[in-house]
């Protein structure tokens, strides 16, 4: 039986009930077994064992034979985990538009959004996660000023940007450094306006004129902040336009 509390907790967080955890761990140790054998080995009441095993089958953790009596066997844990991840991703994709259209719109109408925020972002993953969150809310305009040092953070977002561009979100993308180093920009070819310049002090991403992520620094980001402060976002937008006007158009 699975004795580690950490493993049991993970299985529960993945959506397995206590009886399902016990039944699955019994199968991991015992291999192919009948329902009665699983009931005994896993200490699962026999009156519940078929419901438990059928749930495990539906969730992708267990399979059964066609023989009589039916025998059950566990799928490899990593394979079952991969199936669970895909199932959760599908659920999140279904939830996201509902949250955006029904809940986010309510939030944006209330006083909460009238109090501007400034957040300091730490670590590359934290920056990328916040950037993806911003892009998913974009409805009209995306402005990107990407200095060379931001390539590892902004580059992964270009695929996501490409998806939004298909929905006709106007995008302007400005970079520094050798354009051939920005291989991810190919995802935007023909659908985004792209320009390049020799240098810029810092950079950032501005979404719909409402929020901005700013990279401050010259050779590396000394500070990355996010803000929805009206004045700060407008300043960032004006600075972007100033740089954009003096940049060269790029054809990919």
Domain edge (last residue) among 75, 99, 134: 75
Axis-axis angle for helices 35-42, 46-58 (nearest 10): 100
| CB 212 within 8 Å of CB 205 | yes
For 155, the 3-state DSSP assignment is coil
Same domain? For 68 and 136 the reply is no
Same domain? For 70 and 121 the reply is no
Angstrom distances, CA of residue 212 to CA of 13, 104, 203, 204, 230: 34, 18, 10, 7, 10
At 247, give phi and psi (nearest 5°): -100, 165
Same domain? For 58 and 121 the reply is no
Those residues whose C-beta lies under 8 Å from the C-beta of residue 246, and which sit 6 or more positions away, are 197
Per-residue pLDDT of the chain (252 residues; tens, 9 = 90+): 566 677 888 898 888 999 999 999 999 999 999 999 999 999 999 999 999 999 999 999 999 998 889 999 999 999 999 988 888 888 888 888 888 778 877 766 665 555 558 888 887 778 888 888 888 888 888 898 888 887 777 766 666 666 655 556 788 888 887 777 777 777 676 777 888 888 888 888 999 998 999 988 766 667 889 998 888 899 999 988 999 998 988 876
What pLDDT does residue 167 have? 58
What pLDDT does residue 160 have? 65
Length of the chain: 252
Can you give the residue range of the structural domain that contains 35? 5-75
For 214, the 3-state DSSP assignment is strand
Same domain? For 129 and 239 the reply is yes
Identify the CATH number of the domain in which residue 226 sits.
3.30.870.10
Angle at CA 172, nearest 5°, toward 93 and 182? Answer: 85
What pLDDT does residue 218 have? 66
Residue 96 falls inside a structural domain: no
What pLDDT does residue 141 have? 87
Label residue 134 exposed, middle or buried (CB < 10 Å: 0-12, 13-18, 19+).
buried
Report the domain count for the chain: 2
Residue 24 falls inside a structural domain: yes
């Amino acid at each position: 039986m699975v004795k580690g509390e950490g493993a049991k907790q993970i299985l529960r967080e993945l959506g397995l009930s206590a009886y399902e955890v016990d039944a699955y761990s019994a199968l991991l140790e015992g291999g192919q077994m009948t329902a009665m054998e699983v009931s005994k080995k896993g200490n699962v009441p026999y009156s519940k064992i078929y419901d438990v095993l059928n749930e495990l089958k539906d969730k992708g953790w267990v399979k059964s034979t066609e023989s009589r009596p039916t025998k059950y066997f566990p799928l490899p844990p990593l394979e079952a985990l991969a199936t669970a991840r895909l199932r959760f991703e599908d659920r999140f994709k279904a939830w996201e538009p509902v949250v955006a259209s029904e809940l986010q719109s309510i939030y944006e109408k209330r006083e909460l959004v009238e109090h501007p925020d400034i957040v300091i972002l730490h670590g590359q993953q934290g920056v990328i996660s916040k950037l993806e969150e911003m892009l998913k809310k974009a409805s009209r305009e995306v402005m990107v000023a990407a200095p060379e040092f931001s390539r590892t953070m902004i580059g992964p977002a270009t695929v996501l940007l490409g998806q939004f561009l298909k929905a006709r979100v106007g995008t302007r993308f400005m970079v520094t450094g050798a354009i051939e180093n920005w291989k991810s920009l190919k995802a935007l070819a023909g659908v985004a306006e792209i320009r390049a310049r020799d240098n810029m002090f810092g950079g950032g991403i501005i979404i719909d004129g409402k929020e901005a992520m700013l990279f401050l620094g010259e050779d590396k980001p000394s500070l990355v902040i996010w803000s929805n402060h009206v004045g700060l976002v407008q300043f960032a937008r004006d600075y972007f336009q100033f740089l954009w006007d003096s940049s060269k158009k790029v054809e990919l």
